[in-house]
Amino acid sequence: MTQRLPSATRLAISPAVDDASSDVEWRVSDAPVAYEDALSFMEERAAAIRSSTAPECIWLLEHPPLFTAGTSADPAELMNPRGFPVYEAGRGGRYTYHGPGQRVVYVMLDLEKRGKDIRCFVHSLEGWMIAALKELGVEAHRAEGRIGIWVGEGPGEQKIGALGVRVKRWVTLHGFAVNVAPDLAHFGGIVPCGIAEFGVTSLSELGKQIPMTGVDASLKRGFQPFLNELKRRCKES
């Protein structure tokens, strides 16, 4: 199957060093990608992965300003005073913002050969995000009862990363997003992931002026450890 790719998308060399990741294709888009194009690509690639006609894929990109609605989205949590487009995402979760300055990571992996355990997959994705942020100088963590990745403590705790996945015939779609240097005012158009008590932050807001290429490099270095952790957790579950 030959897939149509959004413009300004280039192939990135995988940091793979062994069989666990050497066949995974990495793509990086230099210009914002329309959300419809991203959904179309993921659906086509997931079907191709399932039929063994295309490799698994990690896609790093940004979107124009928009909101996505997960399967649990509550219309009361969408204010949208700026009139950004809103898309039904088909993933789990509630409302999420995407926009320039945010690194979106779409993860298309075959869980049939990587453990067939969605809980382990999500936990390992969180660990990948936390490890990448630590390498970039930010201590982040999971929060009991709250989806996403967080920084700080107590009332000042803030969200720096969001997750939302879908699994179709044991192939994963969607993934996670890390706030690098987005316009944080844009998050005011929703209740992010249904959590109103805490704010949203970014690497830039925390004083980490890191180019997107630096974030990408950290994510790539953490990919093999992510796969190792996924394999280990699935064996133990």
DSSP-based three-state secondary structure for 11? strand
Question: Residue 11 has what pLDDT?
Answer: 57
Question: Residue 66 has what pLDDT?
Answer: 98
122: which DSSP letter?
Answer: H
User: Which residue, 189, 133, 195, 197, is CA-closest to 160?
Assistant: 133
DSSP-based three-state secondary structure for 141? strand
What pTM did the predictor assign?
0.92
Question: Residue 3 has what pLDDT?
Answer: 59
Residue 105 contacts residue 128 (beta carbons within 8 Å): no
88: its two tokens: 């039904």
Q: Which residues contact 70 (CB under 8 A, 6 or more apart)?
A: 89, 91, 92, 93, 94, 95, 96, 164
Alpha helices (runs of H) in 82-211, residue ranges in sequence order: 118-135
Question: Residue 105 has what pLDDT?
Answer: 98
Q: Catalytic site residues?
A: 193
| Amino acid residing at 66 | L
Q: Which residues contact 26 (CB under 8 A, 6 or more apart)?
A: 11, 12, 13, 14, 57, 58, 59, 60, 220
DSSP-based three-state secondary structure for 84? coil
Question: Residue 20 has what pLDDT?
Answer: 56
> 9-236 maps to which CATH number?
3.30.930.10
Rounded Cα gap, residues 151 and 215, in angstroms:
17
Coarse DSSP helix, strand, coil percentages of the chain, rounded to the nearest 5 percent: 30, 30, 40
Q: Which residues contact 221 (CB under 8 A, 6 or more apart)?
A: 15, 132, 135
DSSP-based three-state secondary structure for 129? helix
Residues of the chain with pLDDT under 50: 1-2, 7, 13-19
Question: Residue 235 has what pLDDT?
Answer: 86
Question: Residue 10 has what pLDDT?
Answer: 61
Question: Residue 19 has what pLDDT?
Answer: 47
Helices (H) and strands (E) in the chain, counts: 4, 12
